[in-house]
Structure 1
Amino acid sequence: MAVEQATRTPTENAVVDAEPQSELGVSVIIPTYNEVENIEKIVSRCLMALEGHDSEILVVDDDSPDGTARLARESFADNSDVRVIKRTEDKGLAQSVTAGFRHASSESCAVIDADLQHPPEKLPALVDELSDGAAVAIGSRHIEGGGIANWPYHRKVVSKGATGLARLSIPSAKSVSDPMSGFFAVRSDVVEDVELDPKGYKILLEVLEKGSYETGSVAEVPYVFQDRQYGESKLTSSEYKNFVEHLMGLSFSAYGFDRIAEPDRLVRGTEFGFVGAMGAVVNTLVFGGMHLYGGMHYMVAGALAFIVALNFNFLGNWFLTFNQPSEEIRSKYIRFNVVSVGGFIIYSLALATAIDVLLIPALLANVLAIGGSFLFNFIGSEKFAFDIESAN
């Protein structure tokens, strides 16, 4: 597996209750955000499940406004095996897990959600797989003995589709039945010197692709995924977007495209191209309707089609490609229009040359003109209109 070197240090701006006193067998990482109704239950069940094992529990909280971290500290103040890590920046479930990896004191780490959808009683089985030589042990819903309780049909379809897409896109996930699982254990040295850059909820994909381990050393343990009983789900439409972007970035890296450009930039370019392709359809429909059916001169039709497509592309790139906050939309829109002036000049020259000089049919000429302005528009949008470097 590909490995990138990184320094193993505690997360900046993290507040840790106490330093670990000794090496432990397994550090159970529980990422939390607004889980005050579940935190006592999940920690207690983890402690009971691992009774007799050398273990510690790390509650990694993203500064929950509902007091999750405070309740965890108060409820388990007398238990030295429970530590609470409070994070105030770079929030997110996967980021909390990577912070847990850095703070863990054990030979192995296990990851479990706080919402009781993963059964803590399966933790010993995951740890046993590591003791038997596995580098990664995954709780799987898709092998014999596993399953999903009470999911509607459409959620099962979405889950299976995402699993299939992950297995198709990531080489290291091809032999894993449930690469989307959030319930797993890993030897600490698998992730110790690896620079993980997760997005969204699917940290396991990052571990499988970047972790340092031998092929064939992944084990799976069946479990039944349960419904959430308390609290609200954190899964939103933006998390689906994060998943697709994360998968694209990992896939670009896995197949060597990161030698051409940074994976994040390749993802942006792909999204920009997708929005542009949709904009080209809009442009072509408007141009064809006005020129071929409305009898409008091709330059006038081209100008109007370009303006309509420009606004479509701005909104698409605003929401999909560059993820900009709404309060900056006016200034970004003005900059995008400035960039588009250059794109429009390239588009117009290409369109006129193709039709008047090369005698190419109007619709085909229009498509070629769109392609001619694409690269200029992407670089201008990235560097000037949406100013990615300053945003980062």
Structure 2
Amino acid sequence: MDDALELAVVIPTFNERANVPVLIAKLDQALAGRRWEAIFVDDDSPDGTADAARELARLDTRVRVIQRIGRRGLSTACIEGMCATAAPIVAIIDGDLQHDETVLPKMLDALQRDPLVDVAVGSRFVDGGGLGEWQRDRVKKSALATRLSRRVLKADLTDPMSGFFAIRTDVARRLAPTLSGIGFKILLDLMTASPEPLAFVELPYVFRTRIEGESKLDHVVAMEYLIALYDRMFGRVVPVRFAMFAAIGAFGAGVHFLVLSPLYAGLLWTFRASEIVATIVAMTFNFFLNNLLTYRDARLRGARALFEGWIGFCLVCSVGAIANVGVAIFLFNENYGGWAWPALAGIAIGAVWNYVLSSRFVWGRY
């Protein structure tokens, strides 16, 4: 049929209200003569991004909106969008206008022209592509991330960090159940999830400078990228969320000792009082870091939610904390290796219990 849908453009958004009408206007111009739809997948943006998209959808039936409540994350938003269309080809483009929408018709043509190609990737590192006005340190970080990705990739992509690409929808749906959904790099997730290497072409584009809104790039995003790589390399042996919780617990152990040592050995507090204070401080440290990293997809935001979450974390982990303190005091009283080993044993006893309860009753209930 001449009016059959050709392409779905999935746009994951968070606080991009001002960019919504501009992007649709740009898509309308770039995809003139093509049959397309735009699917905004919004993580319940407080700035009303979903409302802005719905206003456009009332006038333009090519625009659709998925407003996610209680679900967050760019990769999972892309997965939902890719599975929500009937179009045979689906493209991913950021809502911040930094990707060059004029490349979309070339991606569509490449996939329609060659049925053996699975993915058309917008690349900043092939001839004709570029990083725009990126600062030197960001270029170096991107190059490092690209080198790291080659440890898990099954393809010689020049720009595996690209968030701008088009893929056959049946391929995306087939891979969806095996995707980790971690972090911001959905292309890397797709390329590494496929049992067989995906055939791809790369098309150049120049990365633009953001005009409206604030960049989502931060140190947490970089950490999520490393987490995604870990998941692909070792996730089947040790689940990534438990590994993150355990790693943060290890940092918490360091905090525990940093508090315990000066209180007991320096200020000459009793071991009982020193251990209790150190446990509370370490538990607080673990809560905030887990909220930032381990449970980023269900992160608690706002003073009230954080306070309630911290209280809940302390309550559900109270059994683990009691076991921690009790075991440490018992071993200390029995003179098992001074004070350090009893404290470490107490931490280990409480760790697994804390993970199970906090996953279920702190972040799992939001």
**Shorter-chain TM-score tier:** 0.7 to 0.9
- 1:11 aligns with none
In structure 2, relative to structure 1, the CA distance for the partners of 1:175 and 1:100 (3 Å cut) is same
- For residues 308 and 76 of structure 1, what CA distance do their matches in structure 2 show? 55
The alpha carbon displacement at 1:41 in A equals 2.5
The alpha carbon displacement at 1:112 in A equals 0.5
Q: Indicate conservation of the 8 Å contact 1:346/1:372, yes or no.
A: yes
The alpha carbon displacement at 1:285 in A equals 6.2
Please list the CA deviations of residues 89-132 of structure 1 after superposition, one character each: whole Å capped at 9, or x if unmatched. 12443333222112212221110012110001111333344343
- 1:83 aligns with 63
Root mean square deviation of aligned Cα: 3.4
Letter aligned with residue 154 of structure 1: D
1:346 equivalenced with 2:327 (yes/no) = yes
SS in 2 for 1:147: coil
In structure 2, relative to structure 1, the CA distance for the partners of 1:83 and 1:199 (3 Å cut) is same
TM-score by length of 2: 0.78
The alpha carbon displacement at 1:247 in A equals 4.3
Please list the CA deviations of residues 136-172 of structure 1 after superposition, one character each: whole Å capped at 9, or x if unmatched. 222222344322222223333443444444444xx12
Q: Indicate conservation of the 8 Å contact 2:128/2:205, yes or no.
A: yes
Matches within 5 A, 1:1-392: 23-64=4-45, 66-72=47-53, 74-75=55-56, 79-80=60-61, 82-89=62-69, 90-131=71-112, 132=114, 133-168=116-151, 171-172=152-153, 175-193=156-174, 194-195=176-177, 196-210=179-193, 212=194, 214-215=196-197, 217-235=199-217, 239-240=221-222, 242-253=224-235, 256-258=236-238, 262-280=239-257, 282-283=259-260, 289-290=265-266, 302-303=271-272, 305-322=274-291, 325-328=305-308, 329-333=310-314, 336=317, 338-351=319-332, 353=334, 355=336, 362=338, 366-384=339-357, 386=358, 388-389=360-361, 391-392=363-364
Q: Name structure 2 gaps, 5 residues minimum.
A: none
Q: Indicate conservation of the 8 Å contact 1:166/1:247, yes or no.
A: yes
- For residues 207 and 4 of structure 2, what CA distance do their matches in structure 1 show? 31
SS in 2 for 1:103: coil
In structure 2, relative to structure 1, the CA distance for the partners of 1:59 and 1:275 (3 Å cut) is same
In structure 2, relative to structure 1, the CA distance for the partners of 1:190 and 1:67 (3 Å cut) is same
The alpha carbon displacement at 1:221 in A equals 2.4
Aligned length: 346
SS in 2 for 1:186: strand
- For residues 129 and 341 of structure 2, what CA distance do their matches in structure 1 show? 52
The alpha carbon displacement at 1:378 in A equals 0.8
In structure 2, relative to structure 1, the CA distance for the partners of 1:218 and 1:369 (3 Å cut) is farther
The alpha carbon displacement at 1:184 in A equals 1.2
The alpha carbon displacement at 1:338 in A equals 4.7
Q: Indicate conservation of the 8 Å contact 1:275/1:313, yes or no.
A: yes
Q: Indicate conservation of the 8 Å contact 2:316/2:361, yes or no.
A: no
Please list the CA deviations of residues 273-332 of structure 1 after superposition, one character each: whole Å capped at 9, or x if unmatched. 332244345545666x53xxx8x6xxx665455345313311221111255642222353
- 1:4 aligns with none
- For residues 288 and 154 of structure 2, what CA distance do their matches in structure 1 show? 30
SS in 2 for 1:178: coil
Letter aligned with residue 321 of structure 1: N
TM-score by length of 1: 0.74
Letter aligned with residue 319 of structure 1: F
Letter aligned with residue 228 of structure 1: R
The alpha carbon displacement at 1:227 in A equals 0.8
Q: Name structure 1 gaps, 5 residues minimum.
A: 1-20
Letter aligned with residue 373 of structure 1: G
Q: Indicate conservation of the 8 Å contact 2:155/2:198, yes or no.
A: no
Identity %: 28
In structure 2, relative to structure 1, the CA distance for the partners of 1:387 and 1:118 (3 Å cut) is closer
Q: Indicate conservation of the 8 Å contact 1:23/1:107, yes or no.
A: no
Q: Indicate conservation of the 8 Å contact 1:249/1:266, yes or no.
A: no
- For residues 336 and 318 of structure 1, what CA distance do their matches in structure 2 show? 10
